[in-house]
Amino acid sequence: MGLFGSGTFLDAEDEAWQVETWGWFLRTFGHRDRLKRTPLVTPTRAFFPPTETEGEARAAHIFERVKLLAGMRKWECKLLAQPHRAELKVGELQTLKPVSWAPAGTFSHDGNQATITYQPADVADPAKLIATFIHELAHYLLAARVDEPPGGEEVHEYTTDLLTVYLGFGLFQANTAFNFSQHQSVMSQGWQYSRQGYLGERAFAFALAVFLELREQSNDDVKLRLKPHLFADLVKARKSIVRRRLLDGLMAEPAA
């Protein structure tokens, strides 16, 4: 940040791309009145009622809820589990499990049917599974568009991540963007980390700040749902956005 607070929160080019892409979202999928009606999806029973199902049936249950909340309930799509992924172990006493590049999900369309896949192990981690499903559904939504968003194919995956925030799932995306854990017992010790999505944590914090500012919604509505360091970044990002009036053009756009 600059000495007098004039610096950017993200790289200036990244911020400009986000703002331009948010403008494209508003013009393409619904202006601010639509955005204000979009639910801010949280990991609660109100959005994801409990189920006694397990395995593929549980994944299908969660998938249908994500489709409904994204406004895509009637979009036909086949859901498939990927082959199980093996863990990497180093010796008897240590385990090493970096999973940063293993695909959590995929989207494809053969001209007749859309197919989304997921990692079976993620059924035990609903937040991660929800983040995967909304990312792949955002792919589906973008694939239906003839006009191209800012940056084109070169930034397509980043645009897909950003669209999940517009769709109301920014909390899931930000919280699962990076995870690290370690364990130790009498017989072993180890660690694992995972990265999900293409935007980093700070980029998601900035995107969530844009989402809240465009909706004129309080930061307090997400405070208890975000990791503490992410909430701190969101507050800084929103202050930067307001101070530099980055969204004046988007706030002034007419309703659909």
Which pLDDT belongs to residue 177? 77
> How do 189-195 and 94-98 pair as beta strands?
parallel
Does residue 6 lie in a domain region?
A: no
- The whole domain housing 38 covers 12-251
Total domains in the fold of the chain:
1
pLDDT tens profile 27-86: 999 889 999 999 999 999 999 999 999 999 999 999 999 999 999 999 999 999 999 875
Mean pLDDT within 2-25: 85
Residue 212 forms part of a structural domain: yes
pTM of the model: 0.85
Mean pLDDT of 83-106: 61
| In the chain, alpha helices (H) | 12-29, 32-37, 55-69, 126-143, 156-166, 170-176, 201-215, 220-223, 228-243, 248-251
Asked whether residue 75 is domain-assigned, the answer is: yes
Q: At what angle do helices 126-143 and 156-166 cross, to 10 degrees?
A: 110
Residue 243 maps to a domain: yes
Instruction: Identify the helix (H) or strand (E) that includes residue 109.
Output: strand 105-109
